Structure 1
């Protein structure tokens, strides 16, 4: 089981996604905890590293948890994604391993990983994703 955290940011009916260098699939920004980090600490660090913004700790709240086949991994390798929403300070800009960030709608569902597709389904059903 791969245990990851993700930042759900929805604006104007679209969700913020990112694509790493030399990859063709988009994912929801976030990453893994380092030893001793809480979910919030890891999420704030990962988003700063990937997208150059600071999440506002007081606004971080759990959206949900999703599990699916891990993209690009052997069959049976699952990823568990704990998803949080939060406000932020700064200007969004790709950094570190991120080549591109884009706002996707539900029509773009096929462009994301299996676990992200479950997240797209959930937020679309909630009326938040066009």
Structure 2
């Protein structure tokens, strides 16, 4: 099982997602912890590196946990992603390994990786995500 963290940022019913260089699918911004990091520290670091914004560590709150197959890897490999919400300063923009960002609705399901599709579904069922 691969452990990751991700930032769930909704803007007017749309979910912020990122596409890395060389990939076609959009994913939630975030990543894997480095040795000794807490999940919150990982999230703050990854979001700064990927989107150029600063998360307020005092507002990092767990939202949900999802398990989904890894994209582009054997079907037996699973990713457990702990998704957080958090306040931020700055405007998200592609940085580092991120080539593009987008705000997705549920109709963007085919453009998203497995974990992001699961989160899109959950947010749509909860009435927090635009369907189109």
Please tell me the TM-score bracket, short chain as reference. Answer: over 0.9
| Structure 1 unaligned regions, length at least 5 | none
Q: How does 1:42-81 map to 2 (within 5 A)?
A: 42-81=42-81
CA positional deviation for 1:91: 2.0
CA positional deviation for 1:29: 0.2
- Aligned pairs, number: 130
What is the RMSD computed on CA atoms of the aligned residues? 0.7
1:39 maps to: 39
Q: Deviations over 1:58-114 (max 9, x none)?
A: 111110100011111112000101000011011211100000001010000111111
> 3-state SS of the aligned residue for 1:46?
helix
TM-score (norm 2): 0.96
Which stretches of structure 1, 4 residues or longer, exceed 6 Å deviation after superposition?
none
TM-score (norm 1): 0.98
| Structure 2 unaligned regions, length at least 5 | none
